[in-house]
Amino acid sequence: MESSPQVPTATISTLALALIISSQTPVLLLDKEIRIVAASTTFYRDFKIARQCGPRQKLAELGMVNGICQS
């Protein structure tokens, strides 16, 4: 059996982020602590969350009050 070529981790991460960000449906990539690593544009739009509020926030703590990020 022939082994498949190794793809660099950085390439895999870049492709995964590109797929998430460009998704036509709300998509989140979470880490093991349920913090947002990446989110699709449609996630921010559909849930009315400013982009600056998403990255590194715990999902349960995500939100805005009067246009200000709440953590």
Taking the whole predicted model, whether its pTM rises above 0.75 is answered as no
| Domain range for 49 | 28-71
Name the band, by pLDDT with cuts 50, 70 and 90, for residue 50. confident
| Strands, E assignment, 1-71 | 28-30, 36-39, 63-65, 68-70
Amino acid at 57: Q
What is the mean pLDDT of the segment spanning 16-34?
90
What is the mean pLDDT of the segment spanning 49-64?
79
What is the mean pLDDT of the segment spanning 38-66?
81
How many domains is the chain built from?
Answer: 1
Per-residue confidence (pLDDT) for residue 60, from 0 to 100: 80
Residues 36, 55: contact at Cβ < 8 Å?
yes
Residue percentage of the chain with pLDDT more than 90: 11
Inside any domain, residue 45: yes
Inside any domain, residue 37: yes
